Amino acid sequence: NSGTYRNAPSTSVAVKFHLSTAVGNIVTGLGPGWVRIGATEYRDNVVLTPETVVPGFAASGFDALDENQFAALLAHKPEVVLLGTGASIRFPHPGLTRALTDANVGLEVMDTRAACRTYNILAAEGRSVVAALLIK
């Protein structure tokens, strides 16, 4: 090879970029003991949907979660529930989430930071998502 390179035929490809932004509530910050949704900081565990923020979820923490708290999430008509369990992943007993299973609602369990990121992505896609976030 003499060091000459043949260029591939020039083709023009149009690429369109669209700014995708969530409509409604998005998580804009998170730290030890707090979460910021839009411009408002919350220091309580919350249930978050694109339309609502409900403080007071699992007020007594992960170990006190019960069936009624998961069943109440169905009022938001989610296709998926994200359970953020704090700084580390903790899985609730399957019996606690039975109402979600019976209603064919997906449940994803992850640490709260990951749940916030995932919520923002799904909300931006227009999905019917509920995030139950344990902050403390």
- Describe the strand order of the beta sheet including 129-133 as a list of residue ranges: 53-55, 46-48, 129-133, 80-84, 106-110
pLDDT at 136: 83
Nearest alpha carbon to residue 96 among 87, 107, 111, 86: 107
pLDDT at 9: 53
Put simply, whether the predicted model's pTM sits higher than 0.75 gets the answer yes
Above pLDDT 90, what percent of the chain?
A: 82
pLDDT at 16: 46
Contact 58, 132 (CB under 8 A): yes
Residues of the chain with pLDDT under 70: 1-23
Copy the structure tokens of residue 133: 């976030």
Contact 27, 115 (CB under 8 A): no
Q: Rounded to 5 degrees, what angle do the CA atoms 23, 29, 109 make?
A: 80
Alpha carbon separation from 64 to 57, 60, 113 (Å, rounded) = 11, 6, 21
